[in-house]
Amino acid sequence: MKEKLKEIQEAALKKLESVSKSSELEEIRVKFLGKKGELTTILRGMGSVSPEERPLIGKLVNEAKSILEDKIEQIASDIKQKEKQSKLSSEVIDISLPGKKKVIGKRHPLDLTLESMKEIFISMGFTVEEGPEVELDHYNFEALNIPKDHPARSEQDTFYINDNIVLRTQTSPVQIRTMEKQEPPIKMISPGKVYRSDAVDATHSPIFYQMEGLVIDKGVTFADLKGTLELFAKKMFGDKVVTKFRPHHFPFTEPSAEMDATCFVCGGEGCKVCKGSGWIEVLGCGMVHPNVLRNCGIDPEVYSGFAFGFGVDRMVMLKYGIDDIRLLYESDMRFLNQF
C-alpha cells in the first residue's frame, strides 16, 4: 500500500510539471483528488488494511493529498497570473493612433418643418396643445360629428384596440379635449403623430404627422379663416405665394374647403412638383360645425369658430422636393445629411 501511494504521488507530480492551462490542471485534480480519484479510492479501501497499519496508511494518504493540493494551488495561481498578463498585453492601447471621428447627428426634416410651422402660429397668438395617441372613440369620431356608418370608422382605415379605443386617426380629438376644458376664446394648434390603416408606399404610411388648428370666439367668420391661412402660407412659402379655396366636405366643419397655394418651386408656371397645374393642395379647413360646438358644451348661437388641418409629412415633401414618404422614416444618414 505504501509503494502504491508513492507511485500515485510521483505520477501526479510529474503530470503537474507540464501543465499550462486551467483545463488541464482541473483534469489532473479530478484524476487524483476527485470523488472517484486514485487517492480517494485508496481511502475507501482502508477496510482491507490491518488495524495496526491503518493509522500509518491514513497519515500517508493525507500527506500525499496535502502535497498535491498545495502544488495544484500554486500552479493555478501561476496560470491565472500568466493569463492576466496575456490579457493585459492584448489590450494595450496605441496612443499614437488617430482617434475615431464622432459623427454629429442632423435635425430631421420633419422636426425642422414642425418647428417652423409652430413658430409661425405661435407668432399669431396660438397656443400648442397635446393629447393622447391612444384615444377614445368618442373623441376621435363621435364628438367630431362622424356618424357610426361613416367610411372613416371602418377597420380598413382605423386601428382599433377594442370597440371604444383606437389609435387616433387625426389630431382633431385634441381640439375636442381643449374645448371641453377651456372657455372661449380658444386659439390653439395640435401637432402630433397619427395612425391610419394604410399600406406603405411612396405616398402613404400607417404612421404620419398632422397639425390641426382651432379658433373659437364670438363673431369669428370665414374671412378670419382665410386671412389666417393666407398669412401662414406667405410666412411658410414666401410673400409671392397666392392661395385659393375650393369647396369640400368634412363632417366636423360647415362650410368646408380645401386650400391650394401656388407652387413654391415653379411660382405657378407648372412643374413636376405641382404636376403642371401651378397649384399645390396644402390643407383642409372650414367653419366648426354647430354640432361639434354643442358636443363640447359651447353654444353655437353665441360662439363660432374655424378649424384647419395639415399633413406635416406632405408639407415636408413639398418644401424639400421629396417624392417618397418612406425616406422620412428609414433613418438613412445619406438622406438626412442633406438637411
Task: Please enumerate, by residue number, every residue annotated as part of a binding site for Mg(2+).
Answer: 254
Whether the CB-CB separation of 258 and 285 falls below 8 Å is answered with yes
Contacts of 293 (CB under 8 A, 6+ apart): 179, 216, 299, 300, 303, 305
Task: Please enumerate, by residue number, every residue annotated as part of a binding site.
Answer: 254
d(CA 118, CA 318): 17
Q: Is 284 helix (H, G, I), strand (E, B) or coil?
A: strand
Quick one: cell of 126? Answer: 396660438
Round to whole Å and give the CA distance between 78 and 82: 6
How many helices (H) and strands (E) are present in the chain, helices listed first?
Answer: 11, 10
Question: End-to-end distance of the chain based on CA atoms, in angstroms?
Answer: 87
Angle, alpha carbons 23-25-28 (nearest 5°): 115
C-alpha grid cell, residue 205: 404610411
